[in-house]
Amino acid sequence: MKLRRLLTAGLIISVLLGVTACQGRSPLSFLRPTETPLPPTATATALPTATETATPTITPTLAPTATSTPSRVVIPAGSVTAPILLYHHVSTNNDTQDSRYNIPPEKFEEQIKWLYDNHYQTINVSDLANLIYNGGEIPQRPVVITFDDGNIDVFNNAYPILKKYGFVATFYVVQIYVNGKDMVSTDQLKELYKNGWEIGSHSKTHAHLPGVSEDLLPDEIRLSKLNLEEKLGVPINSFAYPFGEINDNIIRLTSSYGYKSAVGLGNELAHGMNSIFYLSRIEVQNDFSLDQFIRLLPWSGPLP
Ligand SMILES: [Zn+2]
């Protein structure tokens, strides 16, 4: 199938760029492209503001300084342009402070405030996937914020900051980490879901899936979904590959186990059917300056 070949070609590149998520350093990290992001899609049709009925599910508890006018557009099925950001820790904890995977809360808020001030609005991964499948209404400047693994500091530190700006996120949790030491609990995940967050599966044990035997792969991919759905009572529609590592069989299984999408690593801003089971996520790293963060993003300044 042509689609399959396209997907595979994209994946090989993504995997080359992306095998480093979560732990370790990659000798391939220098391969990360640094070119400027794509311009916004020209296919969006502006909706008259008078017809807007969407109300944010979360009212910011503190009024942020800038006034943001929510602006939404309608797009056809097929393609969505939106940065998908990947975070792991938002913490002041000494153990993780200097880790590539940690963003201190002040720095995280600076990034979120910049997004807010520049008229970004969050959507979750399954919203983005639904738009690829069906088209529909989308913020004029959508951004997807994701967290991997299930660290408690995401609930303690990132959640209140996002809530303050009316933002939500998608949290990919490892099944056996939930309720563990320094990890998010079942009740906390339920609270996030009630407040507009999406919960996804990040496998059962955070294994390197290409090295897992054929008979254990269903546990990692399928049973993690079923277990989380049972524990949380919420749908789990998206999967995050541990370390961004995949092969053809892993993608085939993921797409056949009831997930609607899956996420990996990479710098693409445009997403479509050819990447719906390896959506490209940009990892925000500890040492990024605000300018570097801004350069990851496709839009800035006032809305056109
Ligand atoms: Zn991970």
Read off the pLDDT of residues 37-93 as tens digits, 9 standing for 90 and up.
333 333 344 443 333 344 444 444 444 444 445 689 999 999 999 999 999 999 988
CATH number at residue 224: 3.20.20.370
Residue 163 lies in a domain: yes
Residue 100: the pLDDT is 87
pLDDT per residue over 89-138, tens digit each? Answer: 999 887 777 788 999 999 999 999 999 999 999 999 999 999 999 999 99
Query: Ligand 1 centroid to 241 CA: how many Å?
Result: 8
**Contacts from 189-192 at CB under 8 Å and sequence distance 24+?**
189/232, 189/234, 190/232, 190/233, 190/234, 192/155, 192/159
Query: Ligand 1 centroid to 41 CA: how many Å?
Result: 31
Q: Residue 255 belongs to what H/E stretch?
A: helix 248-256
Query: Ligand 1 centroid to 165 CA: how many Å?
Result: 26
Residue 224 lies in a domain: yes
Distance CA 188, CA 186 (A): 5
Hey, what's the torsion of the CAs at 241, 220, 146, 16, to 10 degrees?
A: -10
Residue 129 lies in a domain: yes
Residue 159 lies in a domain: yes
Query: Ligand 1 centroid to 5 CA: how many Å?
Result: 27
What is the residue range of 246's domain? 2-18+80-295
Number of domains in the chain: 1
> What are the residues facing 85 on neighbouring strands?
145, 282
Distance CA 250, CA 85 (A): 23
Residue 222: the pLDDT is 98
Q: Is the pLDDT of residue 16 over 80?
A: no
Residue 73 lies in a domain: no
Residue 69 lies in a domain: no
Q: What is the pTM of this model?
A: 0.80
Mean pLDDT score across all residues of the chain: 84
Tokens matching residue 285: 């790293």
Residue 48 lies in a domain: no
Residue 97: the pLDDT is 72
Residue 60 lies in a domain: no
Residue 12's pLDDT band, with cuts at 50, 70 and 90, is very low
Contacts of 45 (CB under 8 A, 6+ apart): 73, 74, 75
Amino acid at 128: L
